[in-house]
Structure 1
């Protein structure tokens, strides 16, 4: 229980860090966008605003998903992280649409870019800040197998590229004098965001339909079961699914009918232990069948 509490605190701490980081960067980007008149910087501020909302969702989802199973939720609360990931992905779509609308206005009515040094400096600061914060969040996401934190880290990782892209765009405007580069860069930013949103929604939505574990994880399960060829006759009916960071695995094994209940149970304990060591956060259910098992008609 203390380990679970520690893991929960770790997840909520990095989620809170993301909230603070996004809030600070939004203020910087809005100031730089207003001073420079750059739509690409303002589009980045819109992106970061969506990221802030996503960070808040991630913060509350990791807190809620860490609650233990109860009477109404016997399989735990893990899927709240998947719901969070889907919502975050949809928010990114909205951000991309808003950016494209603002960029289209600037193409029709181009304006002068001012305070380019300030604008470029803010974009570099944003990229560097997001680099370190996203690395920290992504590390915890992998350690805790948290889709909500992974989605949050993905947001910030995209911000690194988009911030650098906007900075380079403003630099090119300063060098070439071509004002259309600003909205064009903003639209390219939006395209990257749409790609990010699609990948995120696809990843987060699959477990809501009880999609199976990855091929790599299922291959690990098969390798473990094959190790017990001398103790079990065969295995079949393997099924897997995940909810948040929880992974549910069930299958049947056929054993020699002369084995006692205690001996069969011991084999199951060994298999479960091996799976748990190879794949984190597993819940394994094993159905035991004797070698001459037949289902009689009713």
Structure 2
């Protein structure tokens, strides 16, 4: 419950910070007439929608497994990440549309110092919140919080880009720079959205854990290699922050049920102690000496035929 409350608390922090920034950017955009600042306000609006999705997804995903969802509700976070990525694509499309219209019919930038100040303040706030969310997302292994952190990281880059664009307009009087910077902002957003959607989609398709994580799992299994013949059919996937691990071990047929039960329990405990948020399923296969000899004989016969 403590982890759930922590994730919800930081998701709420993102909702509050985005709400404040939208208000600041709208005011600055109206005062300055800058399309890039208006585009930033639109982007922050999408970020606010994403933050609200994150807030509700982390609450739902942490619910325990039930009859209808025996593997838990973790994939709600993956769905949330995909939804947030799609929202970023929509924001980018709106920004490009507004920028193109301003290229055709450019306007003057007014109150530029105010606009630049708002962008700098926005970047500083988002950088602080983004780093906090990314840290918590890694500690809690929350994809929803990670997606929100990536949104805000993108906002930091785009806010600084808009501020630089307005500064360049002041120095060069080349008003179209405002729209060009807005389009560059949109390109950055599209790139971030693509990576976010791909990661979320991979988890929804039950992609395996990373090579590093699987190597750690195999290392733990091998610590008990003197108690079984072999292991095989290792399968892994991730749902929310829960890592699902499934594999088979081959035991001598003479081993007792209690010995097999104790070995399985030791393997599960070792994985739980060394890898956070694991759910381990271990299948036991009996080792039959006669069947092994027969298989070896068949291999030898095939080898003789080849020679």
Query: TM-score scaled by structure 2?
Result: 0.92
State the partner residue of 1:235: 231
Q: Does 1:47 align with 2:43?
A: yes
Deviations 1:43-64 (A, max 9, x none): 1000000000000000000000
Partners of 2:139 and 2:258 lie apart in 1 by: 35
- 2:30 equivalent among 28, 34, 51: 34
Give me the CA root mean square deviation.
1.1
Instruction: Determine whether 1:255 maps to 2:248.
Output: no
Q: Deviations over 1:82-109 (max 9, x none)?
A: 1111110000000000000000011111
Match of 2:197 in 1: 201
Shift of 1:110: 1.1
Which SS does the other structure have where 1:178 is aligned? coil
Following superposition, which runs of at least 4 residues in structure 1 exceed 6 angstroms of deviation?
Answer: none
- Per the normalisation by structure 1, the TM-score is 0.95
Q: Distance in 2 between matches of 1:187 and 1:84?
A: 26
Matched, 1:136 2:132: yes
1:231-251 Cα distance to aligned partner (Å, 9 max, x none) = 221100111111111111110
Partner Cα separation in structure 2 for residue 137 and residue 73 of structure 1: 28
Counterpart CA distance in 2 for 1:190 and 1:246 is 34
Q: Does 1:97 align with 2:93?
A: yes
Q: Please give the residue correspondences for 1:43-192 in structure 2 after superposition, counting only pairs within 5 Å.
A: 43-192=39-188
Aligned to 2:212: 216
Alpha-carbon deviations, 1:226-285, whole Å to 9, x = none?
Answer: 222212211001111111111111100012333222222222122212222332111000
Tell me the CA shift for residue 66 of structure 1: 0.8
User: How many residues end up aligned between the 2 structures?
Assistant: 290
Give the SS at the match of 1:45. helix
Rounded to whole Å, the distance in 2 between the matches of 1:262 and 1:56 is 49
Match of 2:277 in 1: 281
Structure 1 unpaired stretches of 5+:
none
- In structure 2, distance between residues paired with 1:129 and 1:182: 23
Q: Determine the C-alpha separation between the residues in 2 that align with 1:189 and 1:277.
A: 44
